Amino acid sequence: MNIKEAIGGFRAWQKTPDYHWGKGSSAHQCVNCGHEYTGNYCPMCGQKDGAKRITWVSLWRNFMMIWGMDSHSLPVSLWQLIWRPGYFIGDYLDGHRQVSYPPVKMLFIVAVIYAILVQTFRMLNGEAPPLDESVSVLEPVFRWMGDNPAWTALGMTFVMTLPTSILFHFSPRHAHHSLPEGFFIQVFMSSLMLMSIFVMKLISGWLMLLVPLLYYVCYRQLFGYGMWSTLWRVALCFATWLGITLFFFFTMVPLFDTAMQKNGEALETVLTLAVILVMLVIGLAVVLGFGYWISKKTCKSRES
């Protein structure tokens, strides 16, 4: 097989993976109740086919049941999320729920593993957390983010839910997806971001600049737009995310800190914050409204 055929086979697998691991049409007998049936589970008692002697694998699976990982769906879900993120998320939205590990549970398990690995590498490299807590008002916020990677990733990607829903509302695939569906899209993306960010940090911090590229690949597979149509929509999504993030970290948090330290300036601080917030909302409304108008216009021309 040459390189072109290998790439073609990989792309075909990305679009239509084999999700079925059934036993076929051959009949077999249930070890528990003796009922003869076909498939993976006995219709009489519900026991899974293939009950064998207890081995070390059985011990390992029972131990992993504590974490809700007694099946192979978590490794398979992570594998699919890495190599075919958009198609995998699209399959979940289309109803292929049985083959996907629960996305919220997946995120928190990935976050726990991420935190453990980060702390381990810090200890191995002799890195210690800063002891001075008066360096910046943002330091406690960043420290909390480092200690709670799941909530941090979910919060940062949650900002992408609304712009994604607006800019990709008329996409060729998964058009008119709802905000709850958009939330689950971002939950999957949070798990993917945590895994990717850890690898990027190991290699080089500059690779963090490739995070938008991951969104581009995922959104192109998920929504079915072409290269340029996906590119400018992802760029607007990140512009929205950047505006909201900068407002929160470098405007809202310092202003509230000033208001707490100087009670006499509380009203002035609130008014300043309200003005900046109104300007931000107007700017985002204009940008997202323009993107929505273009998407709707191109959708009508595509249908005609």
pLDDT tens-place string over residues 129-152: 554 444 455 666 667 776 777 677
- Give me the residue label for tokens 């597979």: 221
* pLDDT at residue 205 tops 90: no
Q: Report yes or no: 233 and 219 within 8 Å, Cβ to Cβ.
A: yes
Instruction: Round to whole Å and give the CA distance between 187 and 115.
Output: 17
DSSP summary character for residue 206: G
- Residue 222: which pLDDT band, with cuts at 50, 70 and 90? very high
pLDDT at 153: 76
* Domains in the chain: boundaries: 34-70, 71-291
* pLDDT at residue 232 tops 80: yes
User: Average of pLDDT values for 146-167?
Assistant: 81
Q: How many residues does the chain have?
A: 304
User: Average of pLDDT values for 49-75?
Assistant: 67
Which of the two residues, 89 and 17, has the higher pLDDT score? 89
Q: Report yes or no: 132 and 143 within 8 Å, Cβ to Cβ.
A: no
- CA distances (Å), 65 to each of 46, 69, 108, in order? 18, 5, 16
pLDDT at 14: 80
Which of the two residues, 261 and 90, has the higher pLDDT score? 90
DSSP summary character for residue 65: G
Q: Report pLDDT digits (tens) over 262-285.
A: 555 556 666 777 777 788 788 888
Q: Report pLDDT digits (tens) over 90-134.
A: 999 998 887 788 888 888 888 888 888 877 877 777 655 554 444
% of the chain surpassing 70 pLDDT: 74
Instruction: Round to whole Å and give the CA distance between 194 and 228.
Output: 27
By CB atoms closer than 10 A (0-12, 13-18, 19+), residue 234 is buried
CA angle 89, 90, 96 (to 5 degrees): 85
Neighbours of 58 (CB within 10 A): 12
User: Average of pLDDT values for 39-68?
Assistant: 71
Q: 96-115 burial by CB neighbour count: b if 16+ within 10 A, else e?
A: eeebbbebbebbbbbbeebb
